[in-house]
Structure 1
Amino acid sequence: MQYELFGIDPLYRGFFALNRYRLRFERYDGTWSGAVDREIFERGHAVAVLPYDPKRDRVVLLEQFRPGALEATGGPWMTEIVAGMIEIDESVEGVAHREMQEEAGLTTDRLFPITRYWVSPGGTTESIYLFLGLVDSEEASGFHGLPHENEDIRVLTMSLDEALNRVDQGTICSAAPIIALQWLSRHRARFVD
């Protein structure tokens, strides 16, 4: 199947960008759609890592303020996993290691790819490369983040079962940790000593 892109018009440039895409696409019956205009949020691509300690069967999670979640039931302090944007000329694995140190004060020498997923492909170009990183959870504590980015990140450790219960209760309600925790629940036996 095919599509035709007629043009991309910039609408806004700031910390993020917003563009209007003009296109048409081939339909399943072989005909073509009419012209479609869509505003697309240009966020870039990111890497997220679930730090996991297989010896203790514990995960390391982060809590931080998220302005996009002001209307969340529990408020805008979200329980998440390590994550960061991919900068120019930076490898996916390099971002994983950098963000583990910046956001959780952790290092890992073993990253396992989980998946790459598109965050909301109807409205943004962003995708996330998702990993599991093996760590020693006893090294995880305190507060982290980059002051010049106004990050204020609290590190939490808990059993995998407790984290999965929080997913079920809706207190972990961000996509990356939900996907990573559910993946780990299915593949836990591969990692537990």
Structure 2
Amino acid sequence: MPKKTFNIIQHDRGWDGYFKLDIYHVEHDKFDGGKSDVLRREVLERGHAVAVLPYDPIRDEVILIEQFRPGAISVHQRDPDMPVWLIEIVAGIIEDGETPENVARRETLEEAGCKILGPLEQISQYYVTPGCSSETVTMYYGQVDASAASGIYGVAEEGEDIRVFSVPAEECFAMLQNGQLCNATTTIAVQWLMINRDRIRRNAGL
């Protein structure tokens, strides 16, 4: 199949606050060999994120966090079974001058109160919702000591109020299967752990 191309006709910044909204007028190659019409598309420029699955292979426990998410408010109003406080893994936005690995270690300390022991293992890099946003997530597994994983963490200046707790891996898998982990980043991470848990524990000498 020949390489597909696109052409940006016009690009404007529609909003330039904490989030940025770009407006593109673009045409692209079609699968039938022709060209699309010029399409107007709005794209949320949120930045790029890093997520970390903090797992203790010695104790066979996963560290999870829970926090309020304003993006879930309208969903909860339509469907009260969908939570506004979400159970997640550690995540944060890459700031200027930071590497994804630096962010992974910083956010694990800020949000979960624990250090990553040893090297990080990359799980995935993926688009969050490419139909309307440029955001990507680079996801890592990081080995941690979960023995004291509890309490309230987060950066007060950023309005963070994060509850930290740990659960046995099997309980974490059950939480995924019964719908408690209802966000894509955590789902991807826990499914990865279900596949790789035995290998990780063997590498830890178990």
- Fold agreement, TM-score > 0.5: yes
Paired amino acid for 2:85:
W
Check if 1:60 corresponds to 2:63: yes
User: In structure 2, how many angstroms separate the alpha carbons of the residues matched to 1:58 and 1:8?
Assistant: 47
User: In structure 1, how many angstroms separate the alpha carbons of the residues matched to 2:179 and 2:122?
Assistant: 25
What is aligned with 2:102?
Answer: 94
Q: Once structures 1 and 2 are overlaid, which stretch shifts more, 56-65 or 13-22?
A: 13-22
What is aligned with 1:119?
Answer: 128
What is aligned with 1:172?
Answer: 181
| 2:21 alignment partner, one of 8, 18, 22 | 18
The alignment's TM-score, normalised by the length of structure 2, stands at: 0.91
Q: Once structures 1 and 2 are overlaid, which stretch shifts more, 163-172 or 94-103?
A: 163-172
Q: How far apart are residue 110 of structure 1 and its match?
A: 2.7
Paired amino acid for 1:134:
Q
User: In structure 2, how many angstroms separate the alpha carbons of the residues matched to 1:30 and 1:151?
Assistant: 50
What is aligned with 1:130?
Answer: 139
Q: Which runs of 5+ in 2 are unaligned?
A: none
User: In structure 1, how many angstroms separate the alpha carbons of the residues matched to 2:60 and 2:10?
Assistant: 50
User: In structure 2, how many angstroms separate the alpha carbons of the residues matched to 1:52 and 1:18?
Assistant: 36
The alignment's TM-score, normalised by the length of structure 1, stands at: 0.97
RMSD, aligned CA: 1.0
Q: Which runs of 4+ in 1 moved over 3 A?
A: none
Closer/same/farther in 2, CA of residues 3 and 74 from structure 1, 3 Å limit: closer
* SS state at 2:25 partner: strand
Check if 1:105 corresponds to 2:110: no
* SS state at 1:139 partner: coil
User: In structure 2, how many angstroms separate the alpha carbons of the residues matched to 1:106 and 1:94?
Assistant: 14
Aligned residue runs from structure 1 range 74-93, under 5 A: 74-93=82-101
User: In structure 2, how many angstroms separate the alpha carbons of the residues matched to 1:90 and 1:74?
Assistant: 34
* SS state at 1:177 partner: helix
Q: Which runs of 5+ in 1 are unaligned?
A: none
* SS state at 2:147 partner: helix
What is aligned with 1:183?
Answer: 192
User: In structure 2, how many angstroms separate the alpha carbons of the residues matched to 1:10 and 1:4?
Assistant: 18
Aligned residue runs from structure 1 range 138-177, under 5 A: 138-177=147-186
Deviation string 1:141-168 (CA, Å, 9 cap, x unpaired) is 1110000000000001001111111111
Deviation string 1:32-59 (CA, Å, 9 cap, x unpaired) is 1010111111111000001000011110
Q: How far apart are residue 187 of structure 1 and its match?
A: 0.7
Deviation string 1:107-134 (CA, Å, 9 cap, x unpaired) is 1123110000100001000000001110
User: In structure 2, how many angstroms separate the alpha carbons of the residues matched to 1:37 and 1:160?
Assistant: 46
Paired amino acid for 2:94:
I
What is aligned with 1:37?
Answer: 40
Between the two proteins, what is the percent identity of the paired residues? 43
Paired amino acid for 1:143:
I
Question: Is the CA contact 1:74–1:171 (under 8 Å) kept in the aligned structure 2?
Answer: no
